[in-house]
Amino acid sequence: MQQTSSPRKDLLGIEHLPREVIDHLLDRSDHYYELLLSEHPIPQNDLLAGRTVANLFFENSTRTRFSFELAEQRLGGQHISFTSQGTSVSKGESLLDTVKVLEAMKLDAIVVRHSSYGVPGFIAKHVADHVHVINAGDGAHEHPTQALLDAATMRMIMGTLEKKRVAIIGDIRHSRVARSNIWLLQKYGCDITLIGPDTLMARHAAEVFGVKVQREMGNIVHEVDMIIALRVQLERQASALFPTLEEFTSMYGLTAARLAGSKAHLLHPGPVNIGVELDFDAVYGEHSVILRQVKRGVAVRMAVLEWVFS
Ligand code: CP
């Protein structure tokens, strides 16, 4: 949470979010997860009755966007969903004008994804005091609800996050998921190792984040409790950052064979480049908890909406 001049609650990132708030959000997401898994109809929840949330997605999304929409519906709220195509953004309308136009239609919260670092914070500074802002991913900065759903998944499997060993593998440099996960897991004393080629590593990662960094996989899959594999973000790479995808895959790609004998659970935020960072058998194999992460998405976003409005 980054504070604005008003006491309003926003979720702009994990870095400055107190651990007790994260504990609360994970506990509430467990509660909503149990309800969503139940065979009984989900009890009517009117927490967002009479409220409208705008989901502003300036970048593509499947998991985050639809799970926010479902979370808003399940809490009894209304939502409007916005993408740059088909709106006046494609005619050159600025971000601030777009936000002001939507605000004039009486909104209570904005969920925003954007390719630029800091856009949710910028919106939070310019919207009316009663409009909550939630970051759904900004550039290579943060993706707080993804880190929360990853943490909820890991906590459910292992019982605790305290002092676990975690490897984050692949395109760290472009990854907001990596950053939010590092900030979150460090609040629980986790031992984090980043693995990837120099060209895909965040600059000065060891010093900035206080983590271990290694260029080669070595024996890491047998040394950790959790592996977070990252999508190679081909769309963000201004120039080729590794010679060929085949070379990246041979060095850092996880296959069922490579994971054999490991006790680690495998996470990936999705979407997966199958055959690049993971092969099909790794995605759907015994180590994978990737679909459990997706299942967690709605529950975590219900918990976040409940918290900002509480
Ligand atoms: N993990 C994630 O943010 O996926 P989407 O891009 O599909 O929302």
Q: What are the average pLDDT values for consecutive 10-residue runs of the chain, which has 310 residues?
A: 65 98 98 88 84 95 96 95 75 83 92 95 94 97 98 97 98 96 98 95 94 96 98 72 83 96 97 95 97 95 97
What pLDDT, on the 0 to 100 scale, is given for residue 3?
44
Binding-site residues, ligand 1, Cβ < 6 A: 61-65, 137, 146, 269-271
What pLDDT, on the 0 to 100 scale, is given for residue 38?
85
CATH 3.40.50.1370 domain position(s) in the chain: 19-143+294-309, 144-291
For ligand 1, mutation pick of 55, 56, 62, 236 (most atoms within 8 Å of CB): 62
* C-alpha span between 258 and 265 (Å, rounded): 13
Ligand 1 centroid, distance to 99 Cα (angstroms): 22
Convert the pLDDT of each residue in 87-96 to its tens digit. 677 666 788 8
What pLDDT, on the 0 to 100 scale, is given for residue 238?
53
Ligand 1 centroid, distance to 68 Cα (angstroms): 11
What pLDDT, on the 0 to 100 scale, is given for residue 242?
74
| Domain 144-291 of CATH type 3.90.220.20 | no
Convert the pLDDT of each residue in 225-242 to its tens digit. 999 999 988 776 656 677
Ligand 1 centroid, distance to 64 Cα (angstroms): 5
| Domain 19-143+294-309 of CATH type 3.40.50.1370 | yes
What pLDDT, on the 0 to 100 scale, is given for residue 260?
96
Q: Whose CA is nearest to atom 6 of ligand 1?
A: 61
Q: Whose CA is nearest to atom 1 of ligand 1?
A: 269
* C-alpha span between 232 and 32 (Å, rounded): 32
On the 0-12 / 13-18 / 19+ scale of CB atoms within 10 A, 301 is buried
What number does the ligand 1 atom closest to the CA of 143 have? 3
